[in-house]
Amino acid sequence: MHSKWLNRKYFNTMAYKISTDCVACGTCIDECPVGAISEGEHYSIDPEVCIECGTCEGVCPSGAISL
Ligand code: SF4
Ligand code: SF4
């Protein structure tokens, strides 16, 4: 019961991640509904905040975002 939620919340096994392929275009940060993405040389996703909606993965022009 609630095992998927617990897994994500406490062990972070399924959060989306941004790789070094990120070119810091800024597209994903405006699309994230929960503000989980932070700016940087390579952008990053806070696994404690990400709800795994997948929106950022779909908008990234460099394919840098995946589970
Ligand atoms: S998967 Fe959704 S919630 Fe998670 S960082 Fe991407 S846009 Fe934000
Ligand atoms: S959309 Fe992709 S390339 Fe652009 S900032 Fe986000 S992760 Fe980086």
Our answer on whether the CB atom of 51 is closer than 6 Å to any ligand 1 atom is yes
Our answer on whether the CB atom of 25 is closer than 6 Å to any ligand 2 atom is yes
pTM above 0.85, yes or no: no
Return all residues near 16 (Cβ < 8 A) that are at least 6 apart. 45, 50, 52, 54, 56, 57, 65, 66, 67
Our answer on whether the CB atom of 6 is closer than 6 Å to any ligand 2 atom is no
> What are residue 38's DSSP bridge partners?
44
Q: How many independent structural domains does the chain possess? A: 1
Residue with tokens 């908008």: 59
Task: For 7-19, write each residue's pLDDT tens digit.
Answer: 555 555 678 999 9
Nearest to 36 by CA among 57, 51, 23: 51
Domain that holds residue 51: 3-66
CA of 7 to the centre of ligand 1 (A): 17
Check which CATH number belongs to the domain holding 7 and give it. Answer: 3.30.70.20
Task: For 30-66, write each residue's pLDDT tens digit.
Answer: 999 999 999 999 999 999 999 999 999 999 999 999 9
Identity of the amino acid at 18: I
For a mutational test of ligand 1's pocket, the pick from 42, 52, 66, i.e. the residue with the most ligand atoms closer than 8 A to its C-beta, is 52
